[in-house]
Chain A
């Protein structure tokens, strides 16, 4: 099978500048100790951090064209932001609001005042908007049909495992009659105890909540499907950043930690494991960049490239976090060392937006390798 013109797999100067800005913000305001401290409260998100990221750096509107109030950048830049958020295991509703909800809104009729108004606010970081879909919902999977419109946009139903709902000002709800924007105070949330302490989960309960209709059922479904594709493709960059932190941190640790009168990093058994992990991370970078570039250019190859990136990067992130815990020995098992935050995020990310198995099945379809 032929492949398209090669993707641009490098980072541009602009992307490097964006990375430095995000990285230095996170270094100042999102160290591991404060992430952990927040994770133990019922408000894991830091609204101040979000405001600086969203408005100071302008990261929330990267995917939104300038005429709609955004930065007019692309998935390539959003991917760089996600790499840094993954590296810091930052509790920020970026994937949900700046990527998934934003892409859903962009997939609706942006000429309509309701859509454009909400989109501009989300792009400006003035409101956090979160899609009321389970975090595990995958591109290519059947969309949930649990919310009913009792007439005139009065919605009833429940959606479980909605990420970042607790930070939302507005929820995007997919109902039988279309897509609705529902103000967060009009729904009730049943918080779950999440495996990933840095990405809170809740069940969204709609009990006659009034929504503003943004799209009819067909348009709504298409918009959500497109957003899931982008979300899955960009999640690979979060996984990359996370894996890279785990590798760097572990290499640093085994260089300094002495046992048997030598640095443990001088033992070949450990060196080979870390060298293999480095290879995996370098490969994950190529896969994640290809997905971001394919989405940015609207390549017809994007669905396959995203499926490849997701089928690959989830495993690398989990392996990196598992190696990080193991090679830190006893300290890797403690609550005070941040390794567990990364392991929990990596494992949860491997379920988010489709498992490896789901994405492999998509590869089978796109690459014409049918099951028996």
Chain B
């Protein structure tokens, strides 16, 4: 097993061969991938060295200190956090070799074609159909997806579709890698509560997907999708946040700088939320320390719930604190941001955008069920849909 000293030496070799200052950004990133320093815990040849995951921090720190460019992880978060681990777990050798490198470098942006207007929290109820064409063996896909971030910039998508409506809902699903430039893929902006179109609707009409772009076996799609969803939920909590690093920062700043806004009632709420934000920060830090020590705890499944609630309460308080100014909104013009940027925006935007935190990536209600059932071992709700054919479900 590689040691952290050996890893640091490999980083220095990379830097010597490709000095960050004089190398094209993407060339540098490709070289980093090929040196196994992209995801050190991935296999050799696929961006990694088969090293312990904890060593990634060593490589990242060395590279950051040397001023090396990064792959803009926020822009390609869906690819990095969801598509890549799923392709690694279920992809063929050919798929891994084809997709992982451009994904990590950021040449190819990924999006996720999972949710549908009729299948959000009950995702396995999805109705987008994929029918296999008898001669070519290709799949022909028809349906509608929704809440798709990055669809307008994405080159590829992970897609789940129904391939056998006669089976119970979890068994008739298959997982595909979908070319977003294929004929029949139409991306429409979906304007939201903030006035912006950060997400999209995606209409799929007779979209042809070669069988070589199927991920996992036919009918295994739900199992594959669970890998994606698990990775979606653990992506939070790995980062070290400074005190007041989250949404509490701007509110505390406004409180300090603008004494005229202070009232006793707001003071009590501010202190309560400040304490909760600090405790959430410490909880995330504890989770990070547990992961680094190789003792992952179940706390990860809770962090998203905590941050969603806190972001909503804190941003709500901030609008109120601002008084007259809180009555105004920055701009209702429809825009298409590439990223969600909380800190660079006004309080009203933060308030409205934070409403999505308890819905996107699993609603808080569903996550509470998951904590109750998987962490606390409480019995599942009785379900009468598990053994019924999908086509016979109430709609």
Q: Which residue from B262, B290, B372, B382 sits with its C-beta under 8 Å from A262?
A: B382
A368-B286 Cα distance, complex, nearest whole Å: 25
B285 touching A9, Cβ below 8 Å = yes
Q: In chain A, what residue has the closest Cβ to B268?
A: A360
Q: In chain A, what residue has the closest Cβ to B369?
A: A271
B299 touching A251, Cβ below 8 Å = no
Q: Which residue from B240, B255, B295 sits with its C-beta under 8 Å from A6?
A: B240
Q: In chain A, what residue has the closest Cβ to B364?
A: A272
Q: Which chain B positions have C-beta within 8 A of A266?
A: 378-382
Q: Which chain A positions have C-beta within 8 A of B252?
A: 367, 369
B379 touching A265, Cβ below 8 Å = yes
A14 lies within 8 A of chain B by Cβ: no
For chains A and B in complex, what number of residue pairs have CB atoms within 8 angstroms? 133
If the complex has contacts A1-B244, A279-B302, A279-B371, are A286 and B380 also in contact, measured as CB distance less than 8 A?
Answer: no
B contacts with A, residue count (CB < 8 A): 49
A113 lies within 8 A of chain B by Cβ: no
A290-B283 Cα distance, complex, nearest whole Å: 10
A312 lies within 8 A of chain B by Cβ: yes
- Residue-wise, chain A 46-81 has the 8 Å CB interface mask toward B (1 for contact) of 000000000000000000000000000000000000
Distance between A4 CB and nearest chain B CB, rounded to angstroms: 9
Q: Which chain B positions have C-beta within 8 A of A364?
A: 267, 271
Q: Which chain B positions have C-beta within 8 A of A8?
A: 289
Q: In chain A, what residue has the closest Cβ to B256?
A: A368
If the complex has contacts A278-B302, A312-B275, A363-B274, are A287 and B372 also in contact, measured as CB distance less than 8 A?
Answer: no
Most buried by A among B276, B282, B295, B382: B282
For window 264-312 of B, CB contacts with A under 8 Å fall at: 264, 267-268, 270-272, 274-276, 278-280, 282-283, 285-286, 289-290, 293, 295, 297, 299, 302, 305-306
Q: Is the interface of A mostly helix, strand, loop or mixed?
A: helix
B302 touching A372, Cβ below 8 Å = no
A275 touching B376, Cβ below 8 Å = yes
Q: Which residue from B268, B369, B379, B382 sits with its C-beta under 8 Å from A255?
A: B379
B279 touching A10, Cβ below 8 Å = no
Q: Which residue from A6, A265, A312, A372 sits with its C-beta under 8 Å from B267?
A: A372
B373 lies within 8 A of chain A by Cβ: yes
- Residue-wise, chain B 359-387 has the 8 Å CB interface mask toward A (1 for contact) of 00000010011011101111111100000
A372 touching B264, Cβ below 8 Å = yes
Give the B-binding residues of A (Cβ under 8 A).
1-3, 6-10, 251, 254-255, 262-263, 265-266, 268, 270-272, 274-276, 278-279, 282-287, 289-290, 308, 311-312, 360-361, 363-364, 367-372
Closest 4 CB pairs of A and B: A271-B372, A3-B243, A372-B262, A266-B379
Beyond the given pairs A271-B368, A311-B272, 11 more chain A to chain B contacts, judged by CB atoms under 8 angstroms and listed by A's residue number, are A6-B289, A7-B285, A254-B378, A266-B380, A275-B372, A282-B299, A283-B306, A284-B279, A364-B267, A367-B252, A369-B267
